[in-house]
Amino acid sequence: MAVTVLVVDDSSFFRNRIQEALSSDSRIKIIGTAVDGREAVVKAKELKPDLITMDVEMPQLNGIEAVRQIMRQSPTNVLMLSSLTHEGARVTLEALEAGAADYLSKDIRAWMDRSSALRQELIERVVALGTSRRLRSTPSFGRNPPPAKSDNSRIFRPDTPGPRNQPATDVQGRSTRTAPERPQTKVADGQRGVDPQSGAATYPLTRIRVPDARVVVIGASTGGPAALQKVLVSLPADFPCPILLVQHMPGTFTKVFAERLNQQSRIRVREAVDGDRLEPGLALLCPGGMQMMLDPRQHDRVKILPGDDRMTYKPSVDVTYASVAKAFGSKVMAVTLTGMGADGCDGARLLKQAGGTLWAQSKDTCTIYGMPQAVVNAGLTDAILDLDDIGSMLAKCKYA
């Protein structure tokens, strides 16, 4: 069954280009267009599309306010189209706060040239989001008041990685989350309750082992901005471990995104620069278009390197996972969040070979169950967690 799409843009040029690109794929059916946000709200309720492509700047009602109203009246997955500028980054993140699922570059030159790469990327995003039935009922990204920051200025001191496959510490005490209505998954050796077919969360949470760690690494793509915010705001200001964040995002977006995460979180968050030192309670976000690794000579510092043109993802979760696995082995706590594709799977294999711990986000709470599904199906995960539980479980980590 074809994914039905409503195209919203005040520019006839972009409306025509988007329709032209999407109509070239038999999996997609255009069921309507709108020239401003007000018309988009009406048609979203009337046509009930699987997905809406939404411009940001429009007369009558802009794209951000249109998304807010659509999410209240007729929740629908929305793909924002925005410019690759600092202002474009700001308004795109506002659209994600309002409830949009993802965004795509609105580079006029690429659209004028009818770029095949751009067309294919648009089609893949539309099909993936259009077939995803998960919607955030109440947008959460960026809505919490800024908490007090810790004055924690401790310096992270690397040691020689411990022996591989060192046993992790069992979680003590019960989770504050109420018991799920779904049946509990049987906990087995090695793969603790992981079900590759359903992608359901591992329960009970008290059986999931939380390791002592030298570093926490989190990778995400589509749906990642909201998911990362959900995880990071759950961490206490005195969180004892350094954190590395890899989010598929353009270079013009990551600085703005890091600043927003810093405002919303108790821990400190900033865009990483070459030579940054790992510190407890500090999350370093890899700049878009670059790669983030640990310095092989000084494991307490990061190296930010230009993205190799041969790499599909810049930044790449695979690159960062592989680097921390080599540096810290069994002392790595990694999390794979929502996203398209399989970035992180190859790096996760190296991480598991080194004795590290890997959790994946559950299918029901992912915007796109692509990256988590890849590591689950490869048998690399120690547990699958609902998004609401990931932050509180990570908060149990102790510094190794």
The answer to whether 250 touches 211, Cβ cutoff 8 Å, is no
Other C-beta atoms within 10 Å of 231: how many? 31
Q: Which of 248, 346, 362, 389 is catalytic?
A: 248
Other C-beta atoms within 10 Å of 113: how many? 10
CATH topology of 3-130 equal to that of 169-399?
Answer: yes
**Catalytic site residue 343?**
yes
The tens place of each residue's pLDDT in the chain, 400 residues long, gives 899 999 999 999 999 999 999 999 999 999 999 999 999 999 999 999 999 999 988 888 999 999 999 999 999 999 999 876 778 788 889 999 899 999 988 877 777 777 788 899 999 999 999 998 666 444 445 544 455 565 444 444 444 343 333 333 333 333 334 334 443 333 333 444 555 667 899 989 999 999 999 999 999 999 999 999 999 999 999 999 999 999 999 998 999 999 999 999 999 999 999 999 999 999 999 999 999 999 999 999 999 999 777 788 999 999 999 999 999 999 999 999 999 999 999 999 999 999 999 999 999 999 999 999 999 999 999 999 999 999 999 999 999 8
In 3D space, the residue among 108, 109, 103 whose CA is nearest the CA of residue 122 turns out to be 103
Q: Which of 9, 10, 212, 221 is catalytic?
A: 221
Over its C-alpha atoms, the chain yields an Rg (Å, rounded) of: 21
Does the predicted TM-score (pTM) go above 0.75?
A: yes
Assigned token pair, 151: 């004055």
In DSSP notation, 300-321 reads TBEEEEEPPTT-SSSS-HHHHH
In 3D space, the residue among 130, 118, 1 whose CA is nearest the CA of residue 76 turns out to be 130
Structural domain boundaries in the chain: 3-130, 169-399
**Catalytic site residue 382?**
no
Domain 169-399 has CATH 3.40.50.180: yes
With vertex at residue 235, the alpha carbon angle to CA 371 and CA 156, rounded to the nearest 5 degrees, is 90
**Catalytic site residue 86?**
no
Q: Which of 343, 346, 382, 389 is catalytic?
A: 343
In sequence order, the 6+-apart residues with CB closer than 8 A to the CB of 190 are none
Using the Cα atoms of residue 286, residue 335, residue 392 and residue 90 in order, give the sign of their dihedral.
positive
Rounded Cα gap, residues 170 and 31, in angstroms: 53
Architecture of domain 3-130: 3-Layer(aba) Sandwich (3.40)
